[in-house]
Each structure stands twice: as C-alpha cells, then as structure tokens.
Amino acid sequence: MQTVVVALIKILFAPITFGLLFLGPLLGELFALLGLFADASLRMGIAIGIGGCLGIMAQIRGSWVWLKR
C-alpha cells in the first residue's frame, strides 16, 4: 500500500505532469489575456503542447530550462 502511494506521489509531482496540468492552462489563460488566439480549443491545445514540451525537457534534463544544473 505504501509503495502505491509513493508511486502516485512521484507521478503527480513529475515535471511532465506539472507541465501539462499547470503550465499548460496557465499559458492558455495568458494567451487569452493577450488575445493571441481567437479559438479557445486552439489556444489551449497550443498552450498544453508548450507546457508538455517544457515538462518533457525538464524530465530529460533533470531540471527546468531556466535552472542551471
């Protein structure tokens, strides 16, 4: 039971999850605020794509792009 909980916590706090579930919607709202894309689904798709790419890069590098390692 404890190993399942630890595995779930590792998945929830993984950089990919953070990029998709936090940075993606945050970028989408920023795009909406700036008026960059008129279509909401296109705006969120691009934002989640960017957030996912940043999360994958952070997972591979072991740190976020703006942090030196």
Its pTM stands at: 0.81
Contact in structure between 59 and 16 (CB atoms under 8 Å): yes
Nearest residue to 19 via CA among 64, 43, 46, 54: 54
- Of the chain, the end-to-end C-alpha distance in Å amounts to 34
- For 24-67, how does the pLDDT look when each residue is reduced to its tens digit (9 = 90+)? 999 999 999 999 988 999 999 999 999 999 999 998 888 887 76
